[in-house]
Structure 1
Amino acid sequence: MANTILKLTTIILSLLISLALNNSHFVSSTDDLNHDDQIEDEEEAEEYVLDTPLPHLGPRSRFLASVIKKGTHCDRETNNICNGVPANKGRDMLFCCKKHCRNVLSDKNNCGVCGNKCKHGERCCGGVCTNVLSNVHHCGKCKKECSPGDLCGNGFCGYA
């Protein structure tokens, strides 16, 4: 009985590993669920602290003039509060894309410039669409460097 259970477990485990290796969606979807990644990732910041407060907001407090929340409404013609505005000590760069403030250094739908979408398996790392499934400098997520000699495969360092 125990031998049969062991054989079934081995078969199921082999099937799961085979599915994981053959399905590129597996890595990107499980990576998206990782809460540690969300904190560091482009699109996950709740607000951007501007490097220089916006001067044209009039009598509003200095703090309010220094923070833009993720997805804040903007208009390129009349209310462009995020036209090339650096934030979070230079880590972010905000632009008005389709009436919302977007960080073009990490937004995979507006990577580098408004409207530049990264392909499946890519993330926007520093304003450049990067294949995080095989890049040793951005393995699985931006700025995750593999150890020297380790390769990046399917978004994991040292993947064999």
Structure 2
Amino acid sequence: MKTLFFVAMVMVLAISLSAESGWEAIKGRNRFLSEKSERVVLTCEKYPKICHVEGSSGSDCCKNKCVNLSTDGSNCGKCGKQCSYGKICCQGKCVNPRTNEKHCGKCGNKCNANSSCIYGMCSYA
């Protein structure tokens, strides 16, 4: 079994070395492949509309990252406002989901009028 593993590793090494030398040969023949291409990096500080693109983390820009100020625990309600340990960000406010009756266990989970939030559950007892 060890011998088979050793042979497989030697084959992988040989293939990777030949692939690199083949790429260098191709790169040397074609001037378009040999030139370094410069990538354009779009940042939300320069282009704030990129945070509104579908699939973005959020529509707000904090420290050059797209975030959602309503739910981001590191930017809760405003950039740089971090929720303390055990708290989560709900509607832009840091709340304790273990005791908050409007956000019991998770954001938006409201307990009934005759129950309370204990350990993140409504009507625990």
Q: TM-score range by the shorter chain?
A: 0.5 to 0.7
Residue 49 (structure 2) aligns with: 81
Which amino acid in structure 2 is aligned with residue 142 of structure 1?
A: C
User: For the residues of structure 1 that align with 2:119 and 2:88, how far apart are their CA atoms?
Assistant: 14
Which protein, 1 or 2, shows the higher relative CO under an 8 Å CA cutoff with sep ≥ 6? 1
> Cα deviation per residue 1:107-154 (whole Å; 9 max; x = unaligned)?
111111111111122111111111111011110111101122111011
TM-aligned CA deviation for residue 82 of structure 1: 5.6
Structure with more strand by fraction: 1
CA distance in 2, matches of 1:95, 1:82: 10
Equivalent position amino acid for 1:110 in 2: N
1:134 aligned residue: 99
Instruction: Give the unaligned 5+ runs of structure 2.
Output: 1-41
**Secondary structure of the structure 2 residue equivalent to 1:81:** helix
Give the direction of change, closer, same or farther, for the CA distance of 1:82–1:128 in structure 2 (3 Å limit).
Answer: farther
Contact 1:109 1:118 in 2 (8 A): yes
Q: Does residue 156 in structure 1 map to residue 125 in structure 2? A: no
Percent of aligned pairs with the same amino acid: 38
Which residues of structure 1 form unaligned runs of 5+?
Answer: 1-72, 88-92
* Letter paired with 1:123: I
Letter in structure 2 aligned against 1:119: S
| Residue 81 of structure 2, aligned match among 94, 100, 116 | 116
Count of residues paired in the alignment: 81
TM-score norm. by structure 1 comes to: 0.45
Larger Rg: 2
Q: Conserved in 1, the CA contact under 8 Å of 2:44 and 2:50?
A: no
Q: 2:44, 2:66 within 8 Å by CA — same for their partners in 1?
A: no
